Structure 1
């Protein structure tokens, strides 16, 4: 079993390395939503350790991945607004974790689902333009 997990991890890491900046941002949004779903399941099952691990993963995706990819100098107002939104989402996630608050999870999921959906809709036609400052840096 350990070998299969290691093989799968290498496959995922290879996919991330081969992905364009646009694709990496979409992967972050998808991974974020998956972490929220896992946190909700663990919360409902009373598995506090699993809930904490899933919420920590979601927080890291937002703070290190999405927020970390913002180019605040070139992104202007859009990047500043996204930075504030990401801060709000992290606060919601922390509240959800501390208070076992499913509603806070729902709000955190929906806030970023709209942006993730927009990224998926703009499609590969903008892959060469992603480094505009509002989204991912190269």
Structure 2
């Protein structure tokens, strides 16, 4: 497993998701992180509607951890240059907005964060991973 793939697997496992991680490509790991964060944001929105503050807090915390400890931490600032810096700032913004939305019980702000993540996820999914030629 490459250095990035190993890091991605550790980051993903550290936030409580293990299924398929050890055999996934780095590209697939990032998709899993996006999907996990989106699922957590959707759960938080449902918890707001169901008046479940504990569930909301847990779901928002999980989404923020995935964004920060998974997506943000996996950025390669050296190779990614300006784009990595812009993504870093966007991930920071998303974490702050999600946490504030939890405090304010604001499902609309959680939806804003989810839409930002969906856009990034869709863009990432459209990228063809480079195939490694057999040595």
TM-score with structure 1 setting the length: 0.80
Shift of 1:14: 4.4
Deviations 1:8-41 (A, max 9, x none): xxxx624011101000000011111100110001
Match of 1:7 in 2: none
CA distance in 1, matches of 2:96, 2:84: 18
If each structure's helix is expressed as a fraction of its own residues, which one has the higher value? 1
Deviations 1:45-98 (A, max 9, x none): 110000000000000000000000001122100000000000110011011110
Q: How does 1:88-103 map to 2 (within 5 A)?
A: 88-103=93-108
Match of 2:112 in 1: 107
Match of 2:8 in 1: none
- Gaps of at least 5 residues in structure 1 are 1-11, 130-138
**Do 1:20 and 1:127's aligned partners in 2 also have CA atoms closer than 8 Å?**
no
Shift of 1:120: 1.2
Considering Cα pairs closer than 8 Å and 6+ residues apart, tell me whether 1 or 2 has the greater RCO. 1
Match of 1:4 in 2: none
**Do 1:93 and 1:104's aligned partners in 2 also have CA atoms closer than 8 Å?**
yes
Question: In the alignment, does 2:103 pair up with 1:78?
Answer: no
CA distance in 1, matches of 2:100, 2:88: 19
Match of 1:8 in 2: none
Q: Root-mean-square deviation (CA), in Å?
A: 1.4
TM-score with structure 2 setting the length: 0.82
Q: Which runs of 4+ in 1 moved over 2 A?
A: none
CA distance in 2, matches of 1:92, 1:24: 24
**Do 1:26 and 1:120's aligned partners in 2 also have CA atoms closer than 8 Å?**
yes
- Structure 2 residue corresponding to 1:116, chosen from 115, 118, 121: 121
